[in-house]
Amino acid sequence: MNLILLGPPGAGKGTQAELIIERYNIPHISTGDIFRAAVKEGAPLGLKAKEYLDSGQLVPDEIVNGIVKERLQQADCGNGFLLDGFPRTIPQADALERCLAELNRKITAVINIEVDFEVLMTRLTGRRVCRNCGALYHIQNKVEKVPGVCDHCGGEIYQREDDFPETVEKRLQVYRNQTEPLIKYYQNKDLLFSFNGEEPILVVFQKICEVLEGKF
């Protein structure tokens, strides 16, 4: 199963990804997670990406495309993959298409999660993340058992700097201008399945599974 998760920042892509990869046993490829890990390690990629992440801008296509291409060739993608946060521009989608053609593979489905812009603001400013394993929390919607401590790994829970209100506005604008056109792009290819991301986490997940299982 070769899947793409599409949707604005805060729609619940990462949250659904945690559930989907467990159920279908495919790797989670989150370009945002890859960049944050590189920044944390002080790797050369991190040095290049940091200013874009901090300002809520997209990292240039050439950098992102190269990383994803390399990642898709790794052995664990043999059974499929779940792309989260990629593609985010039309040129990225075109590059992905070329890359998959070379690997003799096709996209199975694009899962588009829709959430009203006002709700996204609350989602993003209330989002908290485990610094160690990346697990997702929310100050109202998904609270950890012990304050500040990850339920899964005991790691420290923190707030991403790009989830501060000033940067959130910018990211939503970037989404509208650069990523939203992908909805039409995948609709035209008959690959798009849209879900109401304002429903509870497990309801959204169940509906995604119904569609995916209807396809096999």
**Which residues does the annotation mark as catalytic?**
13, 88, 127, 160, 171
For residue 178, the minimal CB distance to ligand ADP (Å) is 9
DSSP state, residue 76: G
Instruction: Kindly state whether residue 129 participates in binding Zn ion, applying the rule CB under 5 A.
Output: no
Q: Find out whether the peptide bond into 147 is cis, omega within 30 degrees of 0.
A: no
Residue 149 DSSP code? B
Question: 104 or 147, CB closer to ligand ADP?
Answer: 147
**10 is a site residue for ligand ADP (CB under 6 A):** yes
Angle at the Cα of 62 (from 56 to 64), degrees rounded to 5? Answer: 55
**Closer residue to ligand ADP, CB minimum distance, 2 or 92:** 92
Task: Map tokens 């160690």 to a residue.
Answer: 132
- CA–CA distance, 15 with 124 (Å, rounded to integer): 13
**Contact flag: residue 127 with ligand ADP (CB under 6 A):** yes
Angle between helices 61-72 and 44-55 (to 10 degrees): 120
Using the rule CB under 6 A, is 31 a contact of ligand ADP?
Answer: yes
Residue 186 CA, distance from chain mean position: 17
Stretch of 40-48, 82-90, 148-156, 182-190 contacting ligand ADP, by CB under 6 A: 82-90
Q: Which of residues 134-173 bind ligand ADP (CB under 6 A)?
A: 136-138, 141-142, 162, 171
Q: Which two tokens stand for residue 147?
A: 């304050």
Verify binding: residue 211, Zn ion, rule CB under 5 A.
no
125 binds, among ligand ADP, Zn ion, none (CB under 5 to 8 A by kind): none
Residues from 90 through 109 that contact ligand ADP (CB under 6 A): 92
Among ligand ADP, Zn ion, none, the one that 10 touches (CB under a kind-dependent 5 to 8 A) is: ligand ADP
Residue 191 neighbours by CB under 8 Å, 6+ apart? 107, 108, 109, 110
Of 40, 98, 106, 152, which one interacts with Zn ion (CB under 5 A)? Answer: 152
Ordered alpha helix ranges (H), 61-142: 61-72, 90-102, 117-125
Structure tokens at 83: 């792309």
- By the criterion CB under 6 A, which residues form the site for ligand ADP? 7, 9-15, 31-32, 35, 52-53, 56-59, 64, 85-86, 88, 92, 123, 126-127, 136-138, 141-142, 162, 171, 197, 200-201, 204
